[in-house]
Chain A
C-alpha cells in the first residue's frame, strides 16, 4: 500500500487534552542542552496544574537544567488500538527545591513526584510550559515501507 492511499492523517491534540494526557502518565523524557549538545533523560514526573515536577540527583546532568530552555516529552504506541501519540512541552526549567516563586510552590504541591530509579534525588525541578503540542495518528500497516 502506498502512503498516498492511506486515509489517515496526523491529528493535532489540543492543549487542554495534552494536559489531561500528561496528568494520566508518570514516565517521560526531558531534553536539555548540556555541554553544547541536546541530551535526553527518561524521568518520572508528576503534574501540578500546568507545572511538571521532576526529582533529580545532586551533580547530575539535569542539575544544569535550571534557568535554561528544556523540552519534555511523553509518547505511546498502543499496538492493539493501532494508535500512536506524543505530547511535547517546551518551557523553562526552575530549581523548585526551596525557591519561593509561584512555579516552585506549585511544583512542590505536586503529588509525590517520586523516582523509580535508585539513588537519592533531593532536588525538585519544575518545568513551566510555554508551548504544549501533541499529535496522534493511526499507525500505518506493518507491510508499508
Chain B
C-alpha cells in the first residue's frame, strides 16, 4: 500500500484485499429480502481461500443469503492519519453447515467467533467472484469545496 498524500485515492490490489480481510473479523453483509429491499447486517467472519464465512442463527440472514447474490464489506477510518479504506466483496452465499466435501468441511474448523450472544449454529460461506478495495487520505482543504451550496 502507498504512502498517501492528502486527497489521494489508491485502488487496492488483490494482495491488499487478502491482507485486510484476514486482519479483521467484523464486517457487514447485504442481502435482498422478498420485497426487493437491501438489508445490512454486521457479522463476525473469517476469510480464507476466497470465501467469507460467518455464523448465524435462524432468521433473515439464513433465509435470504444461501443461494443468493450477496455483498460483504469491511472498512476502517484512522482519524490520526486521516486515512480511510474499504474492501467490498461480491459473491454467492451457500449454507456450509452440513459439509458436502473437503473445502466446505474444512470451513467448519475456521475460527469464526461471533461476538453476539446466543447460539449461531448455522455456517454460511460467501464465495467471492469480485473483490474491490480502495484507500484514501482526506484533504481538509477540499472539504469546504464539497459543501453543498444551497444556502
Contact = CB atoms under 8 A, between A and B. Distances in A.
A112 B148 CA distance: 7
B142 interface: yes
A70 B42 contact: no
B115 A37 contact: no
A118 B136 contact: yes
B105 interface: no
Contacts of B40: 29, 31, 40, 71-73, 88
A66 B89 CA distance: 23
B77 A55 contact: no
Looking at chain B, what size class is its interface with the partner chain? Answer: 35 or more
A31 B33 CA distance: 12
Contacts of A144: 113
B23 interface: no
A29 to B, nearest CB: 6
A55 B54 CA distance: 31
A121 B103 CA distance: 43
A13 interface: no
Nearest to B138: A116
Contacts of B147: 112, 114
Interface string A4-28: 1010111000000000000000010
B69 interface: yes
Interface stretch (B12-20, B94-102, B116-124): B116-124
Contact of B75 (A4, A6, A29, A140): A29
Interface string B103-144: 000000001011111110000000000000000111100110
Given A27-B77, A73-B28, A139-B115, A124 B148 contact: yes
Contact of B38 (A32, A77, A119, A121): A32
B26 interface: yes
Across the A-B interface, give the 7 residue pairs with the lowest CB-CB distance, nearest first: A38-B30, A31-B38, A73-B40, A40-B73, A31-B30, A116-B138, A38-B38
Given A39-B30, A40-B71, A112-B148, 20 more contacts: A29-B75, A31-B71, A38-B39, A38-B69, A38-B70, A38-B71, A39-B71, A69-B35, A69-B37, A71-B30, A84-B42, A88-B39, A114-B146, A116-B136, A117-B84, A118-B7, A121-B146, A137-B117, A140-B117, A142-B113
